Amino acid sequence: MTVDIEGVQLHLSHPDELSGDWVGQEEVMRQLLAAWLVIHEGDLPMNPRLIGKPGVGKTTLAYAAARRLGREIYIMQATVDTRPEDLLVTPVVEGAGKLRYVASALVSAMLRGGICILDEGNRMGEKSWASLAPLLDSRRYVESIVAGIKIKAHPLFRLVATMNDDASTFDLPEYIHSRLQPQILIDFPAYEEELAILKENLPFAGDDILEYVTEFLQQAHANDERYTVRDGLNIARFALKLRHMARDRRDTDQSLQVAILQTLGQEAMRYARRP
């Protein structure tokens, strides 16, 4: 798929497809959809950021919200090495000195009127964020120095940035901070919601394993540990595999104990149910 802009042909990225759905916590879903809403011809969509500990479902929430709107979804993974050209347009040598300009997932979403999830955005440095400043305000465009073109966003284009609440991230520049609003906080889910998430992702697991893992996670949450649903899914999957290989398939607790130890380490055992 290609688009011609100011005589430059851009090759677009393909939309992303993920499995799974958002379970529970409908208030944060409502806030995200409200931020994207346009309620007047003079109004503009906002650029929300989803903040929470790794593994609480920020990307899943963003993807599920975009899917509710029936739009193409593009995921752009940010890292400490992300450069402005990675965010916008990358030149690729295509034989005999000819260049092929490849649009990023973000620019592809801009041109197609899709939704871009800028994943783990606070792992990027300021130089990369600076290239997005005009996109995040009323101008709604980016300039590719590499391709020498200005790219305007489709009216239906929407953006959301997910950001981990941990020490391995950069502080946002103030001029970007004010452009990425509102800030939507995602906390750990309650017991029933967490159990429902595990069931959604592991429909083939029995209630005994899923309830055990949910109780483990809830105890960890109560003690302000950083263990998340993602950790719980890994524990449950490993326990299922261990039990499947065991001679005595009834030995569920032992499989879960080993799965917790091997997934999260000795410190996590304090929240495991004792046999």
CATH code of the domain containing 156: 3.40.50.300
Token couple for 82: 């992300």
The model's pLDDT over 224-253, given as tens digits with 9 standing for 90+, comes to: 888 989 999 999 999 999 988 876 666 888
Same domain, 173 and 202: no
| Span 21-39, average pLDDT | 91
Same domain, 213 and 159: no
Same domain, 124 and 54: yes
Same domain, 48 and 112: yes
The answer to whether residues 121 and 153 touch, using CB atoms and an 8 Å cutoff, is no
| Span 32-40, average pLDDT | 96
Same domain, 256 and 148: no
Asked whether residue 197 carries a pLDDT value surpassing 70, the answer given is yes
Domain-ending residue, one of 185, 212, 246: 185
Higher pLDDT, 94 or 63: 63
Q: In the chain, pLDDT over 90 holds for what percent of residues?
A: 73
In this prediction, residue 259 carries a pLDDT of 95
In this prediction, residue 117 carries a pLDDT of 97
Same domain, 96 and 232: no
Q: How many domains does the chain have?
A: 2
Same domain, 63 and 171: yes
Helix axes 252-264, 229-245, angle to 10 degrees: 130
Same domain, 180 and 195: no
Rounded CA-CA distance 159/114 in Å is 9
Q: Which of 34-48, 59-73, 92-106, 135-149 has the lowest mean pLDDT?
A: 92-106
| Span 139-155, average pLDDT | 95
Q: Are strands 73-77 and 141-144 parallel, antiparallel or unpaired?
A: unpaired
Name the residue range of residue 216's domain. 191-271
User: To the nearest whole number, what is the mean pLDDT of the chain?
Assistant: 91
The model's pLDDT over 78-106, given as tens digits with 9 standing for 90+, comes to: 999 999 999 999 998 877 778 889 999 99
Domain-ending residue, one of 159, 185, 211: 185
For residue 248, give the 3-state DSSP assignment.
coil
Domain-ending residue, one of 150, 185, 220: 185
Same domain, 206 and 126: no
Same domain, 112 and 220: no
Q: Which of 11-20, 113-122, 212-221 has the lowest mean pLDDT?
A: 11-20
In this prediction, residue 110 carries a pLDDT of 97
In this prediction, residue 24 carries a pLDDT of 75
| Span 108-115, average pLDDT | 97
| Span 197-217, average pLDDT | 93
In this prediction, residue 94 carries a pLDDT of 78
Asked whether residue 21 carries a pLDDT value surpassing 80, the answer given is no
Same domain, 56 and 149: yes
pTM recorded for the entire structure = 0.86
Instruction: For residue 52, give the nearest of 122, 130, 116 by alpha carbon.
Output: 122
Kindly list the distances between the CA atom of residue 67 and the CA atoms of 27, 189, 208, 209, 230, in Å, as whole numbers in the listed order. Answer: 17, 21, 32, 30, 21
Q: Which residues contact 179 (CB under 8 A, 6 or more apart)?
A: 47, 133, 136, 137
In this prediction, residue 248 carries a pLDDT of 64
Same domain, 201 and 243: yes
